Amino acid sequence: MRITYFNTLAIALLAPVLFTPLYAADADAATDRMGQLEARLIAMEARLATAEQVQPAPSSVSEARIAELESRLADAEQETKEVKALAATGGNVPSSSVLGRGAAFDIMANSAWRNLRWTQPEQWETVRPGVSVETVIDALGSPPRSVKSLKPRVDEVFYYETSIRDDSNSLRGKISFRKGQVLTVQKPNF
Amino acid sequence: MKNKIAIASAFIAASSFSFAEIALTENISVEGFVDMSYSHSDADNGAQGAGNESDNSFGIDQVEIDWLFSFGNVSAQVDLEYEELNGGTNVEQAFVNYSLANGDVVTAGRYATMLGFEALEPTGMYQFSGAYTVQGNLLTAARDYVQGVKYTRTSATTFFGISLQDQSFGNDGDRLGGDNDAQQGIDSSYAVEVAGSMDLGNGFTVFAGGAFENAESGDNQLLNAYVTYETGAWLFAAELNLEDNESNNAGNANGDIDVTSYLLMANYAYSDVASVTGRVSSVDVDIDGNEVLDGTKLTLAHNYAFSDNLALCAEVSHVDGDIDPLGLGNIDAEVTSFAVELLFTF
C-alpha cells in the first residue's frame, strides 16, 4: 500500500476506535505495578534508614595499608626532590663554590671545629702542666672566657665551658697559667 | 697579684685581644671589675685646728667595663668606668691598635702612660693605696692617661715604646699642637713619652723611661726607672722618679717645682691564694729650692684570693712628713690609715 495523504488520514481516524479497549486493560496493570514498586521503595528506604543508624566497624587492615601507602608516598616525594636538586646542578655539587652546599657545610664544620674542639676528650691529651699558652690554644682553641687571676701565683685562667650560668648540666674545663705556662689543668667531666 | 711590668705579663697583655675575657662574639669580648673598700684614717699635724681629723669611708671606689674588639691586624679597646674619686662615669681609655707585619703596633687614641711601676688599676696593685698618695691625693703631677699616637715594639725579652701625646702633667690637655686660645697667640703644646724595658734573665727586669711636656705655661719633664727581681715566691721592686715642673699649675706662678720620689717593695706569696707586701715610699717636693714637703710612707698589706675572681686586700699605712708650704717653718704631720678592699673581676 502506498502511503498517501488519504491512507494516513484514514488510519488516524480508525486508530482510537480500534485500540481503546486494549489501552484500558494495560493502564490497570501499570497502576498495580506502581503500587508494588512504591511499597518496595518504602521498604528499602526503611532498611536504608536503619542501616544508616548503625556505624560500620572500622577496618584496621585498611588503615594500616593507608598509612603504609602514605609513608611510601612521602619517601617517593623526597627522593623526587633530591633527584630534581641533583639534576639542577648537573649531578655535581661544587665543593669550592661559596654558594655550594658542600662549601657551606665545610665552613660550618670548620668553624665549629675551631670553636668547639675542646669538647672532644682527645684534644686535652696534650694539655699538661708546663706547656705554653700557644700549645693550649692550638689544641683547644681560644677560650670562651678567661680572667686575669687575683691569686698570687696564678697569672691567668682559661675557662672552657658550654655555659657560664648552668653549672649542673654543662661541660667545664679550667686551665691556669703562670708566666705563660700551664700551672694546673682541670679537664671537663666527659 | 701580678706585677704589671713583669715583661712576660706585658707580652701576654699586648696580645690579650685574642684571649677573649668573656667572648661575646668571635670579635668582641668584655672584661672588668668592681672595687669597693672601707677605710679609716687619723691625721695629726701636731697642732690644734684643721688637719687633725679622723675620717671613715665605705663605698664603691671604681667600676669598670672594658670592651675589646679584634679584627685581624686591627684591634681596639674601650674602657668605661665609674670612679668615686672623679665623681662620675667616663671613658678611661679608647684606642685603636694596628699591628704591622713585623709585629710592631701603632696605637691611636686615649691610653695609659707607659711610665711607672705601680699599676693604674686596682687589679694590678699589691696594696690598696698608691706609693705616692696620702688620703687619696697623688703627690706628683704626672698624669695616668694621655691622648695621642704611640708606637711600640715588643720582643721576647725587650720592649720599646714612643708616644706623641697632648700632655704628661695635665697642662693643655686635648690640645696636641696648640690652639688659638693660648695667651700668647698660637703656641705649641705637646708631650713626648719614651720607654724601654729588658728582661735580664734570672728574674731581673729593668725599665727606664721619660716624659717631656712642652706646655704654654712651661716645660715639664719626668724621668722614671725601676728594677724588679723575682725569685720563687718573692718579688722585689725599686723605683725612682725625678720630676721637674716649670708650669704654674701648682699655684706658684713662676715656681720651679722639683719632685723626687722613690719606692722599695717586697711581696711574698706564702700560699697559692695569699701574699703579704711591705713597701717604703717617699716624696720630696721643692719649690725654687725650698723644701715644702718631705714625707715617707710605710705600707703593709695582705692579699687573700677567695677565687680567681674575688680577692680581699687589707692594708695599714703610716705617713710621716714635714710640711712647710709658706716657708714659715716645718709642721710635722702624720697620717695613719687602715683599709679593707674587696675586688671582683670578670
pLDDT tens sequence across B32-81: 999 999 999 998 876 555 556 788 889 999 999 999 999 989 999 999 99
Percent of chain A with pLDDT over 90: 25
Which chain A residues are Cβ-neighbours of B156 within 8 angstroms?
A: none
Q: Provide the pLDDT for residue A49.
A: 75
For A59, list phi and psi in degrees, rounded to 5: -105, 105
Nearest CA-CA partner of B89 in B123, B64, B119: B64
Which chain B residues are Cβ-neighbours of A144 within 8 angstroms?
A: 20, 22-23
Q: Which of A13-17, A103-107, B10-14, B220-224 has the lowest mean pLDDT?
A: B10-14
The predicted-structure confidence for B207-237, as pLDDT tens digits, reads as follows 999 999 888 777 889 999 999 999 999 999 9
Task: Give the C-alpha separation, B232 to B248, whole Å.
Answer: 47
Residue A5 · residue A13 · CB < 8 Å: no
Better-scored residue on pLDDT, A11 or B236? B236
With CB atoms and an 8 Å threshold, state whether A152 touches B9: no
With CB atoms and an 8 Å threshold, state whether B8 touches A180: yes
Spans of all domains in chain A: 1-48, 122-186
Q: What is the DSSP string of B138-198?
A: ESS---SEEEEEEEEEE-SSEEEEEEEES-SSSSSTT-TT--TTSTTSS---EEEEEEEEE
Task: Give the C-alpha separation, B112 to B76, whole Å.
Answer: 14
Query: Which grid cell is B236?
Result: 722585689
- The type of residue at A179 is K
Task: Give the C-alpha separation, B233 to B203, whole Å.
Answer: 11
Q: Which long-range contacts (CB under 8 A, 24 or more apart) does B249-254 make?
A: B249/B141, B249/B169, B249/B170, B249/B171, B249/B217, B250/B141, B250/B287, B252/B287, B252/B288
Q: Provide the pLDDT for residue A18.
A: 40
Percent of chain A with pLDDT over 70: 53
Residues 6+ apart with CB under 8 A from B181: none
Nearest CA-CA partner of B37 in B302, B339, B316, B304: B339
Decide if pLDDT at A71 tops 50: yes
Residue B317 · residue B334 · CB < 8 Å: no
Q: Provide the pLDDT for residue A1.
A: 45
Residue count (chain A): 190
The predicted-structure confidence for A141-164, as pLDDT tens digits, reads as follows 989 899 999 999 999 999 998 876
- The type of residue at A37 is L
Q: Provide the pLDDT for residue B8.
A: 39
Choose from A137, A145, A148 for mutation: most chain B CBs within 10 A.
A148
Average confidence (pLDDT) over A66-74: 77
**Cα–Cα distances in Å, from B275 out to A178, B205, B304, B329?**
16, 21, 7, 41
The predicted-structure confidence for A34-67, as pLDDT tens digits, reads as follows 677 777 777 777 777 776 666 555 555 577 777 7
Q: Provide the pLDDT for residue A54.
A: 60
Run means of pLDDT, 10 residues per run, chain B, 346 residues: 40 41 86 95 70 82 95 95 82 96 93 94 94 78 86 94 89 63 60 96 95 84 96 96 77 74 97 97 88 92 96 96 73 90 96
Question: Is B34 touching A (CB cutoff 8 A)?
Answer: no
**Cα atoms in the 13 Å half-sphere on the side-chain side of B260:** 7
With CB atoms and an 8 Å threshold, state whether B305 touches A152: yes
With CB atoms and an 8 Å threshold, state whether A156 touches B19: yes
Q: Which of A107-121, A130-144, A158-172 has the lowest mean pLDDT?
A: A107-121
Domains of chain B plus CATH, in order, are 7-345 (2.40.160.10)
Q: Provide the pLDDT for residue A38.
A: 77
Q: Positive or negative CA dihedral for B301, B302, B306, B312?
A: negative
Secondary structure (3-state) at B118 = coil
CA dihedral in degrees (A52, A55, A57, A62; nearest 10)?
80
- The type of residue at B46 is G
Residues 6+ apart with CB under 8 A from B300: B276, B277, B278, B279, B315, B316, B317
Which chain B residues are Cβ-neighbours of A143 within 8 angstroms?
A: 19-20, 23
Report the gap between the CA of B121 and the closest CA in chain A (Å).
13
Q: How many helices and strands, by DSSP H and E, does chain B display? A: 1, 19
Question: Is B93 touching A (CB cutoff 8 A)?
Answer: no
- Average pLDDT of every residue of chain A: 71
Q: Provide the pLDDT for residue A44.
A: 75
Task: Give the C-alpha separation, B127 to B278, whole Å.
Answer: 9
Please give the CATH number for the structural domain made up of A122-186: 3.30.1450.10
With CB atoms and an 8 Å threshold, state whether B20 touches A147: no
